[in-house]
Each structure stands twice: as C-alpha cells, then as structure tokens.
Amino acid sequence: MTFFPLLASESFGLNFNPLQTNLVNLAIVIGVLVWFLRGFLGGILERRRTAILQDLEDAEARLTKASEALSHAQSELADAQKKADRIRKDGKSRAEAIRADGEKKTISVMASIKQGASADADAEASRIRDALRRDAATAAIAKALSDLPGRLDTQAQSKLLDASIANLRDA
C-alpha cells in the first residue's frame, strides 16, 4: 500500500513541452480573461474609486462646514461669556448700590427716630417740669394762703396790697 502513488511511479519528472502541458491554452485563457475583465473590472474599480473620491470630497466639505460652525459657535460662546460676566458685574454693582442706599436710608430713619424720641423725651420732661412747677406753686400758694390770715394783721395786709398795686403799675 503506497501513500503517494504519483511518487511511486517511474514516470515522475518535469515536462517542458508547451503543447503537452497546455501552457499555450492557459496563456490564451488568461489573456482573454484579462482582456475581457479589464473593461468590466476596470469599470467597477473606476466607479468605486470615483465614489470613494466623491465621499472623501463630501467628508472634507462637511468637515469644513463643521469647522466653520464650531468656530462660529466658539465665538458666540465667548461673546455670551463676556456678556454674562458683564451682567454679573453689573448685578453685583447694582446690589452693592442698593445695599449702600438701604444702609443710608436705615441710618437716616434711625437718626430721625432718635431725634423724634429725644424731642418727645424733652417735651415730656418739659411738660413734667411745668406740671411739677404748677403743683409746687399751687401747693405754695395754698400753704401761703392758709398761713397768711394768721400771720397778717390789717396793717401788714394793707402794706402788701399797696406793694402789689405798685408792682402792677410798674409792669
């Protein structure tokens, strides 16, 4: 039993005769295939190459548009950030001005309240002083009137009345 029957035969060797080896037929078939398929495969490959080039041009155009849109969006973002910063600064300055104005108004109101309270306290103190003076004068007059009849005799009363009338004429 032989595993390689071709190697076991005695006619093993190389044949260089082109007619017996079908090299001419193979050359003709390969040539015809190349000639017929060149147009067919060449057309397919050319269409494919054109489609790929068109896709690349479209991709480059889209890349260019996207780059332009990106740069435009970045400039708009930068403008928006500047505007936001400006608004933030204006808001802070307005808030500071409102706070300072509120403080001034509060201080003014507190000062007027203090002045009003002081004026009220002074008026109340003056009213109390006047009331105390009236009460003291009334008490002194009442005491003098109650003590006077026992202390004054007729002659002293007439001197007092004369002095009072003289004072009234001078005034």
Q: Out of 52-61, 118-127, 147-156, which region has the weakest mean confidence (pLDDT)?
A: 147-156
Which residue would you say has higher pLDDT here, 119 or 52?
52
State the DSSP code for 3.
S
Mean pLDDT on 10-38 = 74
State the DSSP code for 14.
-
Percent of the chain at pLDDT > 70 equals 86
What Cα–Cα distance (Å) separates residue 57 from each residue in 3, 49, 52, 54, 87? Answer: 61, 12, 9, 5, 44
pLDDT of residue 75: 95
For the chain, the structural domain boundaries read: 18-148
Q: Which amino acid is at 52?
A: I
Above 80 in pLDDT, residue 12? no
Cβ atoms of 2 and 8 within 8 Å: the answer is yes
Mean pLDDT on 39-58 = 89
Q: Out of 5-9, 22-26, 144-148, 152-156, which region has the weakest mean confidence (pLDDT)?
A: 5-9
State the DSSP code for 9.
S
Rg (CA), the chain: 65
Mean pLDDT on 137-145 = 81
Q: How far apart are CA 22 and CA 94, in angstroms?
A: 101
Q: Which amino acid is at 53?
A: L
Nearest CA-CA partner of 12 in 4, 1, 23? 4
Give per-residue pLDDT as tens, 62-118. 999 999 999 999 999 999 999 999 999 999 999 999 999 999 999 999 999 889 888
